[in-house]
């Protein structure tokens, strides 16, 4: 429905040259862009939740860090979903969801860079009693 409205407004504004219709078209495009951003934020939040859930279950990083990331991802997803319903409060939602997610991402990144990279060569022993260095 919105795409048809946009096309109709564009045609009328192009032929009629009315400023009001151009303003309406611009408002429609802004609302479509905002909705698209919210949908992308929801997809990012779901992916991030899965990422931190797997870290939590695998214990590859400390559970405190993965729990922080999981909570931040759930907050992120929830607030972007609520942003679809209440777009006028977008700025408030950003101030709520950005700091925990930023903290979780930065702490996880530093932990993985500093502690989770294997620096010693790993040896694998097979049943044929030959040792392979990786």
22-37 pLDDT per residue, tens: 677 777 777 787 788 8
Structure tokens at 124: 């694998």
Contacts of 58-67 with C-beta under 8 Å, sequence gap 24+, read 60/116, 61/108, 61/111, 61/112, 61/116, 62/111, 65/104, 65/107, 65/108, 65/111, 66/108
SS3 state at 115: coil
Using 50, 70 and 90 to split pLDDT, how confident is the model at 59?
A: confident
Tell if the pTM clears 0.85, that is, is over it. Answer: no
- For residue 54, what pLDDT is reported? 94
């Amino acid at each position: 429905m919105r795409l048809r409205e946009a096309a109709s407004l564009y045609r009328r504004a192009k032929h009629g040259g009315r400023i009001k219709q151009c303003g309406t078209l611009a408002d429609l495009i802004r609302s479509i862009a905002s909705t698209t951003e919210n949908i992308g934020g929801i997809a990012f939040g779901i992916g991030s939740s899965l990422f931190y859930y797997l870290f939590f279950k695998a214990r590859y990083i400390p559970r405190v860090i993965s729990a922080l990331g999981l909570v931040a991802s759930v907050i992120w997803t929830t607030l972007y979903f609520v942003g679809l319903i209440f777009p006028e409060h977008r700025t408030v939602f950003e101030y709520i969801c950005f700091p925990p997610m930023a903290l979780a991402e930065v702490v996880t990144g530093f932990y993985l860079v500093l502690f989770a990279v294997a620096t010693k060569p790993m040896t694998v022993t097979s049943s044929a009693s030959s040792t392979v260095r990786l």
